[in-house]
Amino acid sequence: MLYIIGLGLCDEKDITMRGLEAVKSSSRVYLEAYTSILMVQKERLEAFYGKDLILADRDMVETESDEILRDADTQDVSLLVVGDPFGATTHTDMILRARALKIPTRIIHNASIMNAIGACGLALYNFGQSVSLVFFTETWKPDSFYDRIKENADLGLHTLVLLDIKVKEQSEENLARGRKIYEPPRYMTIPQAVSQLIEIEALRQSGTLSAEKTLAVGMSRVGGGDEHQRIVCGTLAELQAHPVDAFGEPLHSLVIVGKRLHPLEVEFAEDFAVNRGTWQGVAESVYGCASSQQ
| Binding-site annotation: residue ranges | 9, 84, 87, 112-113, 163, 222, 252
Report how far apart, in Å, the C-alpha atoms of 185 and of each of 24, 33, 37, 99, 164 are. Answer: 30, 12, 11, 33, 11
- Give the annotated binding-site residues for S-adenosyl-L-methionine: 9, 84, 87, 112-113, 163, 222, 252
Which residues face 159 on adjacent strands?
256
